[in-house]
Structure 1
Amino acid sequence: MSWTPSQGDTISKGDSYEFIEQVGSGGFSVVWKAQNQSTGEDVAIKVPNYANANMPDTDIEVYFGRELSALEDITNAGGHPHIMELHESVSHQGVDLMVVDFITGELMEDVQSITDPQNVRQIGIAICDIFSFLHENEIIYRDLKPDNIMLTGNDEPKLIDFNTARDPLQCPNGHEIKFENADQNHCTVCGTDLNSGTVVTAGGKFKAPDLTNQQYRQGPWTDVYAIGKILFYILNSGQAVIQDNIDPRDYQVSTSAPLAEIIQRSTAVNPTNRFRNATEMKEALEQNDASVSGPSATLRIQSTGQEFTVSPGDTLGRKNTAGPYATIEVDDPGNDAYISRIHMKFEHEQGRWVLKDTSKNGTILYKNGTPYQLDSTSRTQNPDRRALDDRDVISPVAENYGLDLQFRTN
């Protein structure tokens, strides 16, 4: 039988922690309030929920490990003020534990008193900022719902659950499972059964149609849909609906016209009718205007002439890979080996376009024919971002890699 904590137990690694009381329990983990014995700080310790009789221990460990991996990636990326912070992971008597922030507040599913559209709009801005950060760092969430968000005393949202966060999925025989097939019961390559550690289920009334309808490609807009559903849920006193294209005014919800229009646009059935990404939705919320689309530019593949429209917050990455999907997908001339899933991001700051490298192998930016290397890793001293000008040329990975993209301001 696996070890489970009791009040007064202590564990140690970098610091020593004493278990105070159990404060929560879910399908995959049990949450304890604990105290750092060195600093006196309250922390939360997540423990695998081996008492869950509906799921084998091996599956519990898969989900628990997935959350730990995601939180480690977030920490390595610098963290985010609205995401639960990982302090450290600890192994105690053969059981892996994670020490995280102890967040005081209420789960969003328990809050039914936020009806001021201005407050809801500010919550939406903060949530959009979270998802812009996640997508940039190759973390796809896909399961945003009220019980995954804590609201602090200032109504600031904190994302607290990451056991549905995904790295590339594989079936038991090692075949990669694309996200559009991840809700299936069998591997589409070899037919092997997918256990509950592999099958993706997400969202219920907050789940975007693109998660189940292969007519639509998944991408940042998939989480945009869930954000819109969350905002409607708050305005509607904690009541969700399964419909798409939601106008809160159709449900006798008192709200401003701009916020209603933002929610309606974000919950459109067709992803092309939504905001392209969380960054664009954040700008719409900040300006209180659903028609906001922000500046746009064009990327042109020089060898083929194929063009893509670029909006602030858009990402570019390798096609034909498990998510998270980039906004713009390109073929990798290096046999799908070197262009990252999220290789670069396009930002617009103080009136200027900026290219940010988010890859594992770097990006070359040509300005008037002179190459500049961008590198988000710690391997070099090169910067990870640089301003973009009209007719600059972008080459993922290296000079003469085989994919040159000309950037054109519109």
Structure 2
Amino acid sequence: MAEQQRLLGGRYLLKEKVGTGGMATVFRAQDQVLNRAVAVKIMLPQYAGDPTFAARFKQEAQAAAALQSPYIVGVYDWGKDGDTYYIVMELLHGTDLKSGVRSHGALDPKKVAQIGSQICGALSIAHKHEIIHRDIKPQNIMVQPDGNIKVMDFGIARAKNSHLTQDNNVLGTAHYVSPEQTRGQELGPTSDIYSLGVVMYECATGRVPFDGDDAISVALKQVNELPVPPSQINANVDGDLERIILKCMEKDPANRFQTADELRQVLNSYLAGRAVDVPEPTRVIAGMAGAGGTEAMRMGDKTQTMVRPTAPGDTASNPVIRPNNQINTSSYDNEKHGMGKGKIAAIAIAIVAFVAIAIFAVSGFLNGGDQKSVPNLLGMGQEAAVASIKSSGFEPGNVNQSYNDQYSEGQVCEQTPDGGKTAAAGSKIDIVISKGPKPIDQVEVPDLSNASDLDEAKKIIENAGLTVGSTTQEANDADEGKIVDQSPKAGEKVDKGSKVDIVVSSGPETDSVPGVVGKTESDATNTLSNAGFSVNVESGGTSDTYAKGYVMKQSPTGTAKKGSTVTIYISEGKDTSSDEVDVDSLGLTGMTAEDAEEAIANAGLKYDPRQQSSSSVEVGNVIKYSPGGKQPAGTVIILYISTGPSE
């Protein structure tokens, strides 16, 4: 029988194949019980008979089923059908991150950070369950149509407390494995963080940090080489994101972020535009300087370190300091002879310097001898700048003020003419004094708790001059779709245009409510209490179906909030009101005894005649009767029959 026509476990009808991995094949299937589409992962036949792989496969299901996160693929069920092991999972729509990067190239830095933050959310849950993923790579990260991600395939993740943890083979893909994983050492959460750093590196640059002809050469580079800083590949990568990525990829696990939560907080701060306090990465591999590293080389007793290039206008905040004996390690080769790139560059610099000197000399000659070099005033205070102008043989000109992000308040940020140029002695030099960075308009963060849904919350944020950041869901007692948290908090003052992250309620956590209709009140109460629900007992009235004392109805059924109250309705038994007789309607008073007895018998009642004297009722007729009103069938009615006046 073809796999596509197979029914696994008497429940999951396999449809078409959607993918094949190293251990299993994945099918789209239909859950015949819950009538929903699912993904079913079936272990490949060559592994099904191997006890080690079978144990690992079952462990995958047990481990993954315990992980509940909006960023982890949900596992619904698992089992064995004959010789076939299978896992039933959430069916995802979208594309894997690897395909996305291949199609679109490098991603926007903010998108890279958002993806990294969501992966951290998945890893945080796994690590708290003592599960290391071991195979974080873009192929295992599904990008959904709404832009959010889900981490897939915990197939080689293994719980620390499992006997399988002693098997330290490198199971991950070489481009993303950590150095310690390559060495076969014990792995911890920081190994997943290293792999996540490689994923973010690839998203930010469009390429992996280390590549080679085979897996072994790539794995060796993970141990022995340093990555090229992402900004040297993609100039759009800013310094904060670069430091975050490179800290994740530190060779020594102790130098990385130590937990997924720690990394997520830093990424969220970066997304919110807040300051990110991450030190510059280590650029020398201990004992390996110059041995394959592209960023550092040891020469004599000094280590020459390449400094990240400073962006235009960033001179003050990120000065590039280069020692006199610094070299370009990427082109240095003491085995080559002749005129290398370094010598060519030196000659070019010498020619430029010679031409500049010649132009300066000719310019001074053509303009007469009364020319002076304009002093460089940038960064000076106003008084010091004026003094320098005068001492250089010039006159102070106009003094203006302007906002400037590069120079601190009170420093010269512009001058005319520029420093280093020549001008006539005694001419004026205009300066502009910095007022510091231009203030960013501050706005108050609105309160989103009263928004009816996510769309309204987004409008409120945008109307306040802010932008919508990440949106996540979490179980909460609030109604589904309500905003239950936000960052920054309502009322905080933030820069205009800052991002506001939103947490949306997915509704309260629910449990299945046991069905107790048909049980006795005692049994029903015990069943519901043991399931974690409170019980409220109400009368359900009469019932022709359920005997007295049995549950005839319950509310709610299906699922309900954990710990909520379930009301059970108890039957009062069958309705017997239709079997009752209205004695008064028989008109017994004044009847002859014979007629009264016949009327009572015809109504399904019984009679008991008794003699009593009466001066007003004719002999042989009914004086009175008891009881009256409505009486059940078979009730004895006492008839008092007149014997005439007493003597």
Q: Alignment partner of 2:277: what SS? A: coil
Alignment length (residue pairs): 262
Q: Which of 243, 253, 263 is equivalent to 1:261? A: 243
Query: Does the 8 A contact of 1:31 with 1:47 survive in 2?
Result: yes
Partner of 1:86: 75
Partner of 2:86: 97
Q: Cα distance 1:246–1:158, how it changes in 2: closer, same or farther (>3 A)?
A: farther
Pairing 1:42-191 to 2, within 5 Å after superposition:
42-50=37-45, 57-74=50-67, 79-112=68-101, 113=104, 115-167=107-159, 168=161, 170=163, 177=166, 182-183=167-168
Aligned-pair CA distance for 1:121: 0.9
Whole-angstrom distance in 1 between the partners of 2:209 and 2:146: 23
Per mean C-alpha deviation after superposition, the further-off stretch among 245-254 and 42-51 is 245-254
The reply to whether residue 224 of structure 1 matches residue 221 of structure 2 is: no
Pairing 1:10-409 to 2, within 5 Å after superposition:
10-12=7-9, 16-50=11-45, 57-74=50-67, 79-112=68-101, 113=104, 115-167=107-159, 168=161, 170=163, 177=166, 182-183=167-168, 199-212=169-182, 218-241=187-210, 242=222, 243-244=225-226, 247-252=229-234, 254-288=236-270, 289-291=275-277
Higher helix share: 2
Query: Does the 8 A contact of 1:66 with 1:162 survive in 2?
Result: no
Aligned-pair CA distance for 1:12: 4.0
Structure 1 letter corresponding to 2:202: Y
Q: Cα distance 1:292–1:217, how it changes in 2: closer, same or farther (>3 A)?
A: farther
| Unaligned runs of at least 5 residues, structure 1 | 184-198, 294-348, 351-380, 382-410
Whole-angstrom distance in 2 between the partners of 1:218 and 1:33: 34
Whole-angstrom distance in 2 between the partners of 1:50 and 1:259: 44
In angstroms, what is the RMSD of aligned CA positions? 3.0
Q: Cα distance 1:5–1:125, how it changes in 2: closer, same or farther (>3 A)?
A: farther
Whole-angstrom distance in 1 between the partners of 2:85 and 2:15: 19
Query: Does the 8 A contact of 1:142 with 1:203 survive in 2?
Result: no
Partner of 1:8: 5
Structure-2-length-normalised TM-score: 0.37
| Unaligned runs of at least 5 residues, structure 2 | 211-221, 280-486, 489-531, 533-647
Aligned-pair CA distance for 1:62: 3.5
Higher-Rg member (1/2): 2
Structure 1 letter corresponding to 2:95: E
Aligned-pair CA distance for 1:169: 5.5
Structure-1-length-normalised TM-score: 0.57
Q: Cα distance 1:39–1:170, how it changes in 2: closer, same or farther (>3 A)?
A: closer
Q: Cα distance 1:152–1:273, how it changes in 2: closer, same or farther (>3 A)?
A: same
Query: Does the 8 A contact of 2:25 with 2:42 survive in 1?
Result: yes
How far does the alpha carbon of each residue in 1:235-261 deviate from its partner, in whole angstroms, 9 at most, with x for none?
A: 222544245455211323532221111
Whole-angstrom distance in 2 between the partners of 1:233 and 1:95: 37
Relative contact order higher in (CA < 8 Å, ≥ 6 apart): 1
Structure 1 letter corresponding to 2:254: T
Whole-angstrom distance in 1 between the partners of 2:194 and 2:248: 5
Q: Cα distance 1:217–1:292, how it changes in 2: closer, same or farther (>3 A)?
A: farther
Query: Does the 8 A contact of 1:47 with 1:96 survive in 2?
Result: yes
Structure 1 letter corresponding to 2:17: Q
Whole-angstrom distance in 1 between the partners of 2:2 and 2:92: 20
Aligned-pair CA distance for 1:234: 1.4
Q: Cα distance 1:41–1:238, how it changes in 2: closer, same or farther (>3 A)?
A: farther
Identical amino acids, percent of aligned pairs? 26
Q: Cα distance 1:210–1:200, how it changes in 2: closer, same or farther (>3 A)?
A: closer
Q: Alignment partner of 1:7: what SS? A: helix
Whole-angstrom distance in 2 between the partners of 1:220 and 1:121: 19
Query: Does the 8 A contact of 1:265 with 1:290 survive in 2?
Result: no
Aligned-pair CA distance for 1:37: 2.6
Whole-angstrom distance in 2 between the partners of 1:135 and 1:128: 10
How far does the alpha carbon of each residue in 1:114-150 deviate from its partner, in whole angstroms, 9 at most, with x for none?
A: 6111111111100111111111111112221122211
